[in-house]
Structure 1
Amino acid sequence: MRGRVARMVAIKVAGAVFVLWAVATLTFFAVRLIPGDPAQAILGGPGSQASAGALAAVRAEYGLDQPLFIQYLQQLGRLATGDLGRSYALNMDVAPLVLAQLGGTLTLAVLALVVAWLLALALATWSTRAGRVGWMIGSGLEIVAAALPHFWLATALIVLFSSWLGVLPPISTPGVAGLVLPVITLAIPLAGFLGQVMRESLLTALESPFVLSARARGESERGVRWIHVLRHAALPAVSLSGWAFGSLISGAVVVETIFARPGLGRTLLNAVTVRDVPVVIGVVLIVAVAYILVTLATDLASRSIDPRLRSA
């Protein structure tokens, strides 16, 4: 038993290390493919009018005069020791810069995931109890919600709740009110995806033999749905929560920019714009670590919900 557990842990750790290496590698070369000179970003951007001597000195200081593969190996060496490097554009360590923005993005993503779950669960439960008409309405709403782009939805919410009704701020402000529109913008498209999965799982569970057995034992319809059916139907959506968290982080790039909200999304966008390679790699690695942890948590949650996974 201990050997199987140790083997499983070793596989998980090896998989996490491989994912982090792949993310760092792809990000490094992808940023390098963007047109422009990183040395100019260090000296203030293309408008700084830096001299050729200053550019050469910066390239030598940061190792940018080395072949690209050597720069890549040096970057991996720093990352292996936990050193994310220094920002080219901001001239400060990347680790505290990224960690300072992490809390805002995680708060936004977690709240959006909770709201998406509640919306999807409410719509799926109602549509399965409202007959064929409810099923058609629920299916249509889920498809529309899943297809909404974040930038369009954010603009529509700002026009409705800020310009017309004047009840919510158009940009993110401290407090709960500043979180409402960003959270809803991220939650609605995700709720469309989760709702489709939950509704199909609910319909399948309602026709399963264990539901017939529960009803035969005299359990109420409410008890059957909330104790047996919902637990079974939640499994696919729980498994998708890891992917959902990743999609929320990627959507945060757009949402944080539109609502002028500080976070990893805006930091990443600004860093890509000025070719700030250490910041880009630092942000992406932190997001990858968060994604791995959330995926592990969803795996454990699935095992706690489904006894068959625990026995396997």
Structure 2
Amino acid sequence: MARELTQGPGSLRWLAGRILQAVVVVWGVATAAFIGLHLIPGDPARAIAGGVAARTSPQVLAEIRAEYGFDRPILVQYTGFLKRLAGGDLGTSYQQHRPVLSAVAERLWPTVEVAIGGLASGLALALTTALLTSGRRRPRAVARTTEFLLMSVPTFALGIGLLALFSFHWHLFPVIGDNGIRGLVLPWVTLALATAAMLSQVARDGIEQALAQPFTLTARARGAGELRVRIRHALRHTAAPVLTLSGWMLGNLLGGVVVVENVFARPGLGQLLVDAVRARDYPVVTGVVVLTAAVFSLIGIALDVTYRVIDPRIREVA
């Protein structure tokens, strides 16, 4: 299958086009981040020197501007920024005085740990809920009501509620300071509930459409039980839409887990980004944003490749 995907000039052109689209997306995000940060009021040289409260002489500020290139025209700064970015250099943190890649790499795993665990838990919960409630009126109504309620609750409010109940009231999980598995349970549950609320609706619709198809009647006629029909025959027909939404949500979780990390005091990219915004640490903010866009684009390419491997008809149409 994988060889069939890369055979022929059409497939190679398609793959080259998708990679080019990803590069354009990353460039656009990087440009927007660069412009947005430079529109924020304030002097980045003063932030580097210690903030507004620090007593810094004009001579020192001038030296900082010259060293970091803040005194150059904005177009020159932008060109230099793109050159460094093309070479894989995200710059040096103003506050930590080390490469941004090093600072990001140090915080990357805690974020991936929370995002992957939350998505996997949410996917398992969504598929289980969809299998048990699809085609059954009352369970379906209860599930849909619960899902809409979870979707309407902000993630931070859900996290705070779980924290207050399971940590402060029942003392089942640590509040902060535990980097072990117990410290991950509540962040995972918070993300899983929000994720499952959306995924289960898509999975349920796909399963119900599959249950109405003739092949399920044939399976039942051959003596297959209802649970076997749902898992072996109906569930796989909802794989494509669930896979699409899961990939999109994974990209969002990697970039938007900042809220959950701050609620549970997790030392991930979210906390790094918030600290960098407060300190006007431009390279760190830009680096996190650009890397998030790159990951999102790579997930999109991986999903498209998976579709073409699973369904040969997509290769014929593309």
- Band of TM-score, shorter chain: over 0.9
- Which of residues 32, 43, 48 is equivalent to 1:26? 32
Give how far 1:127 is off: 1.4
Structural mapping, 1:51-62, within 5 Å: 51-62=57-68
SS at match of 1:109: helix
1:85-234 pair list within 5 angstroms: 85-128=91-134, 131-171=136-176, 173-234=178-239
Structure 1 Cα separation of the partners of residues 303 and 177 of structure 2: 30
Distance of 1:304 and 1:144 partners within structure 2: 37
Determine if contact 1:88/1:276 at 8 Å carries over to the other structure. yes
Provide the rounded CA distance (Å) in 2 between the counterparts of 1:209 and 1:297. Answer: 32
Amino acid at match of 2:211: L
Letter of the structure 2 residue corresponding to residue 231 of structure 1 = R
Q: CA deviation at 1:156?
A: 0.4
User: Please, what is the CA RMSD of the aligned residues?
Assistant: 1.7
| Structure 2: runs of 5 or more not aligned | 1-6
* DSSP 3-state at the match of 2:134: helix
In structure 1, the gaps of 5 or more residues are none
Once residues 131 and 305 of structure 2 are traced to their aligned partners in structure 1, the CA distance between those partners, rounded to angstroms, is 25
- Matched AA of 1:100: E
Whether the 8 Å contact between 1:197 and 1:237 is mirrored in structure 2 is yes
| Amino-acid identity (%) | 44
Aligned length: 311
Question: Could you tell me the TM-score, scaled by structure 2's length?
Answer: 0.92
Aligned to 1:268: 273
Candidates 84, 95, 105, aligned match of 2:90: 84
Contact 2:273-2:285 within 8 A present in 1 as well: yes
Q: Tell me the amino acid that sits aligned with residue 247 of structure 1.
A: N
Residues in 2 aligned to 1:251 and 1:23: alpha-carbon distance in whole angstroms: 15
More deviation in 247-256 or 259-268? 247-256
Q: For the Cα contact (< 8 Å) 1:142–1:193, is it kept in 2?
A: yes
Larger CA deviation: 30-39 vs 102-111: 30-39
Q: Deviations over 1:234-254 (max 9, x none)?
A: 221101112101221243111
Deviations along 1:271-302, one digit per CA (max 9) or x if unpaired, are 11122111111111222222223223333444
Q: 1:40 aligns with which of 46, 49, 54?
A: 46
Q: Work out whether residues 255 and 292 of structure 2, in 8 Å CA contact, stay in contact via their aligned partners in 1.
A: no
CA gap 1:212/1:311 in 2 versus in 1, 3 angstroms: farther
Classify the secondary structure of the residue corresponding to 2:37.
helix
| Residue identity in the other structure for 1:262 | P
Distance in 1 (CA, whole Å) between partners of 2:62 and 2:73 is 15
Structure 1 CA distance for aligned equivalents of residues 118 and 309 of structure 2: 23
Q: CA–CA distance in 2 between the matches of 1:137 and 1:307?
A: 38
User: For 1:64, what is the secondary structure of its paired residue?
Assistant: coil
SS at match of 2:33: helix
